[in-house]
Amino acid sequence: MNGLPWREHYPAGTQPDIGEPPARNVPELLRPSAALDADAVAFTQCMPNGMNGSLRYGEVERLADEFAVYLREVVGLDAGDRVAVQLPNCLSYPVVAFGILKAGCVLVNTNPLYTASEMTHQFRDSGARALVIIDMFADRLPQVLPATRIESVVTVRISDFFPAVVAGIIRATQRYWSRTIPPITVEHTPLQAALAAGRDRLERGAEAQAYLEGIGLDSVAALQYTGGTTGVSKGAMLSHGNLVANTLQMLEMCGSHLRPGKETVLTALPLYHVFAFTVNLIGFYYRSGRNILIPSPRPPSNLRRAFENYPITWLSGVNTLFNALLNERWFLEYPPRHLRASVAGGMALHQSVAEHWRDVTGTPIVEGYGLTESSPVLTFNPLGGSVKDGTIGIPVPSTEIRCLDDAGNPLPPGEPGELVARGPQIMQGYWQRPEETQQTLADGWLHTGDIAEMDEEGYFRIVDRKKDMVLVSGFNVYPNEVEECIAALPNVREAGVIGVPDPKTGEAVRAFVVADEPAPSQSDIIAHCREYLAPYKVPRSVEYRDELPKSPIGKILRKELRTEVGAKPASGTTGSTPEATTGSQEA
């Protein structure tokens, strides 16, 4: 027990090990939830104006069966074939995703906003034979498809499964008002036609259940693309066993706080991202919860109708989402009345944001940690146990974590080093990249590339990404620490910190700030940092932006900031003026 001090801090009733999985694959894990109450609402898609549509558990299972049969019997896919999915949060997503898994095929989640070149890379690298894409972006396909193995395209409407009148209004608005529906010039099958074809085969004797006979815990369920710990985008092979285990690990940590059949979770994070995919989609479906799907959370006012119209009890998000909501007047004046808890991940949760969130909502917000390569959850602050602000909590059951020095030796509590982990949620490896797999999965341990430290009780704190560390005159500066210091200032919405070349110190700290009026001046920011940080950590320059580049889940992309500034040296403490600096494009 001495080597695993965190086990002493699991909430009462939490098992330190999840034991043997109760299912051989994800569909088998989820099937009992649908059978429990087929008439319960599983998913509701809420548009910014409040228009909505819903699917019940029985409908999701039936439609997923139809899509599975379509893929196997009509398209002609085999078990293990890859199917790319390029959809925002919408009712079609669970139907398609569960259908792919029921077909014994491999899901390849793809960002709908990808450029043609990014799509080509991911489709070609994965070897996808079929694609499901939102019709709004299908105009990229003539450029993409010839360079891939894709043989079949299924198109989805954002209004699929909405009531007919509401769907007609949405469709007319898209076509004639916003003009967001381009002509589709490649051969394709609308989703509703694909489901009808699958339904026809089912009525003629096809059995969707038969496709899962050879699909077990070691079978690949998803290729989840990531820059990973080493750079170029590659597919993390997540098995059915990885996803089943991580779902059970996460729910074990939630304990009685996540009540079967009684929770409503707001899903603003994209389901194609592994955080929402495992936690929101699989986890809450397994617990028979209701999922409120938000197609686009930007601007944050897009979430207003969902909060007003549904009894939201859970919210998962990243620091930027929580901070954005806390800057919305409607949210501050009418905080959600039914909220029970919120989960933060994807990036560091600033303590000032966590404290403000608790003050406004009167509910806990707990931080967890994980990577695409770990399906994703590795640690979690235990609800019902001792929550420590500023930490990522303790390892979830059946998980071991260490901090290593540069020589690979375990470090004692309080010493920062690279975080490594092992457990049943760790990926099988990178798709068709054995050398990078060997580099990242060394001796059975996932090397995360994150610098962390563990305290005496087994709680971990992320210091920063190893590659984001700034070296000032030989001293390590971790951007997270500087960003959180700046974010504590009034009217600062976001802060991003990087290192830039400096002839005297090697590197210097530069801060990029998004602020409301009246914005703190550059001298205010630097003076504030001098009060709370060592001199070498204080920004040498400050730039104001209208927005910062972000990932699809809202994580600030420091690498894009570094690319923007290139080799430009720090320019002294005066920085640039707010008026002279333009906002960067959102990733």
- Is residue 463 in some structural domain? no
User: Is there a domain that residue 8 lies in?
Assistant: no
Residue 460 lies in a domain: no
202 plus 348 within the same structural domain? yes
Per-residue confidence (pLDDT) for residue 232, from 0 to 100: 65
51-78: average pLDDT: 98
Q: Is the pLDDT of residue 575 over 80?
A: no
Chain Cα centroid distance, residue 587: 14
The 10 Å Cβ neighbour count of residue 518 is 8
CA distances from 344 to 81, 85, 252, 281, 569 (A): 34, 25, 17, 16, 34
Q: How far apart (Å, rounded) are the C-alpha atoms in residues 474 and 498?
A: 16
CA distances from 205 to 61, 79, 199, 212 (A): 17, 19, 10, 16
- Minimal CA–CA distance to 526: which of 572, 465, 468? 572
569 pLDDT more than 50? no
User: Residue 536: helix, strand or coil by DSSP?
Assistant: helix
pLDDT band per the 50, 70, 90 thresholds, residue 581:
very low
**C-alpha closest to that of 399 among 416, 375, 415:** 375
pTM for the structure as a whole: 0.85
- Checking if the pLDDT of 359 tops 70, the result is yes
Could you give the angle at which helices 26-36 and 57-69 cross, rounded to 10 degrees?
140
Give the pLDDT of residue 571. Answer: 42
Torsion of CA 523, 496, 468, 458, to 10 degrees: 100
How is residue 451 written in tokens? 């610098």
Q: Are residues 269 and 331 in the same domain?
A: yes
Asked if 399 and 535 sit in the same domain, the reply is no
- Domain-located, residue 459: no
How many domains does one find in the chain? 2
71-80, 269-278, 297-306, 528-537: lowest mean pLDDT where? 528-537
Which residues fall within 8 angstroms of residue 458, CB to CB, at 6 or more apart?
4, 5, 6, 7, 8, 9, 394, 395
Per the CB < 8 A criterion, the answer to whether 65 and 267 are in contact is no
Which residue type occupies 394? I
Q: What distance in Å separates the CA atoms of residue 174 and residue 178, rounded to the nearest whole number?
A: 5
What CATH code is carried by the domain that includes residue 433? 3.40.50.12780
Average pLDDT estimate for 292-305: 96
Mean pLDDT of 319-348: 93
* 8 A C-beta contact, residue 92 and residue 136: no
Same-domain check for residues 358 and 496: no
Do 71 and 185 belong together in one domain?
A: yes
At 222, is the secondary structure helix, strand, or coil?
strand
Domain that residue 534 falls in: 469-580
Same domain, 263 and 408: yes
Contact indicator for 257, 340 with CB cutoff of 8 Å: yes
Residues 299 and 372 in one domain: yes
